[in-house]
Chains A and B, each alone.
Chain A
Amino acid sequence: AQSVTQLGSHVSVSEGALVLLRCNYSSSVPPYLFWYVQYPNQGLQLLLKYTTGATLVKGINGFEAEFKKSETSFHLTKPSAHMSDAAEYFCAVTGRGSTLGRLYFGRGTQLTVWP
């Protein structure tokens, strides 16, 4: 089965600082990778996804992520944090074969942005 590890359940940064949220996956073949964001009392919203092609993926709100096959990583970054970025972020990977339909999620990283 697929699995996703998000290092750091909580990350705090100052407004304007670099945001780096880490995600590693386990897969014997390159999967499809996703980052979702969850604002308080709201459902999940897709930030970006990697399927095929360019390994640097740009998403909404200035976020981007780079797929590194050799490191089995898909870390999420944003050059300059904004207060509105405070939320919980989930990395996810699709299954393979009979589990192609499902997403496997990491446990999430809560991002706090200090003024």
Chain B
Amino acid sequence: GAGVSQSPSNKVTEKGKDVELRCDPISGHTALYWYRQRLGQGLEFLIYFQGNSAPDKSGLPSDRFSAERTGESVSTLTIQRTQQEDSAVYLCASSRPGLAGGNNEQFFGPGTRLTVL
């Protein structure tokens, strides 16, 4: 597709359940990022993939959060035993790494709105 896509767009779950959020980056983009946006807050970095490896996963808030990426394309963010504080919009972005690395634009998907009851 032309842009970053995420699914589902909305997810309502009960506390304690596991959820999986999916991100399809722009074709050819080797860098992929996950962010979390809580109501009234800025975006909070979660994890960064370069290809299939994650050189920076320091933003994952707890061991209930994990992410993987296969085939240098699709990524899945998994939240186990969800808590109410996990309610947020989860945004995925992708970019082409350039010579300088950090100066390339990150293209964002529309996000997945997660509500934990």
Contact = CB atoms under 8 A, between A and B. Distances in A.
Nearest to B50: A101
B65 interface: no
Given A43-B4, A94-B102, A95-B102, A105 B42 contact: yes
Counting contact residues on chain B (CB < 8 A from A), the size range is 20 to 34
Nearest to A102: B45
A100 B110 CA distance: 24
A45 B109 CA distance: 9
A42 B110 contact: yes
Given A101-B48, A105-B42, A46 B105 contact: yes
Contacts of A101: 31, 33, 48, 50, 55-56, 101-102
A90 B105 contact: no
Contact of B48 (A6, A51, A102): A102
Interface residues of A, number: 29
Given A43-B110, A102-B48, A102-B56, A49 B103 contact: yes
B29 to A, nearest CB: 12
Contacts, number: 69
Contacts of A90: 42-43
Interface string B75-117: 0000000000000000101000000111101111111000000
A54 B71 CA distance: 39
Residue among B48, B59, B102, B111 having the largest count of chain A Cβ atoms under 10 Å: B102
Nearest to A31: B102
Interface of B: 4, 31, 33, 35, 40-45, 48, 50, 55-56, 58-59, 91, 93, 100-103, 105-111
